[in-house]
């Protein structure tokens, strides 16, 4: 009987440790029509993106590895062709003045972050995150 409570406590301690694993916070502000990423350079590893919509319209955030050039556009010429890219992470439908979070493990490289609502990317809603 003594062994069971001890195992239970050890299990709880491990779960608590995992939930508090160190990670880097990146604050992303979306507003018609721009994205601000702070900090813009972080170490590789576990990252939590905190996406805050400070605009009057719903926005999304899509993260892909940067190729160094503009992402390919769909035939409409207004939105990024997401199917042609490998998505690293995304936050769908952040309501006006809303906040959403997503945790990712990022390898070194450059990442493009953008809102792909109709016309938002072309209007300037994109930013970059550099991971060392």
CB contact at 8 A, 95 and 53: yes
DSSP 62-100: EEEE--SSPPPB-TTSSSB-GGGS-EEEEEEEE-TT-EE
Q: Would you state the pLDDT for residue 63?
A: 97
Please list the pLDDT of the chain residue by residue as tens digits (132 residues): 444 444 333 344 333 333 466 899 999 999 989 999 999 999 999 999 999 999 999 999 999 999 888 899 999 988 999 999 999 999 999 999 999 999 999 999 999 999 999 999 999 999 999 999
Q: Has domain 22-131 been given CATH number 2.40.128.50?
A: no
Separation CA 71–CA 56 (nearest Å): 26
Residue ranges covered by each domain of the chain: 22-131
pLDDT of residue 123: 94
């Amino acid at each position: 009987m003594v062994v069971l409570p001890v195992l239970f406590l050890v299990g709880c301690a491990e779960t608590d440790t995992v939930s508090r694993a160190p990670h880097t916070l990146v604050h992303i502000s979306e507003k018609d029509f721009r994205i601000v990423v702070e900090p813009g350079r972080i170490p590789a590893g576990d990252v939590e993106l905190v996406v805050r919509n400070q605009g009057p319209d719903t926005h999304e955030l899509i993260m892909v590895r940067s190729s160094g050039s503009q992402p390919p556009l769909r035939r409409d010429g207004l939105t990024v062709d997401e199917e042609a890219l490998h998505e690293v992470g995304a936050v769908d439908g952040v309501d006006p003045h809303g906040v959403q979070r997503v945790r990712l493990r990022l390898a070194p490289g450059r990442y493009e972050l953008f809102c792909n609502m109709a016309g938002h990317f072309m209007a300037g809603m994109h930013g970059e995150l550099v991971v060392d």
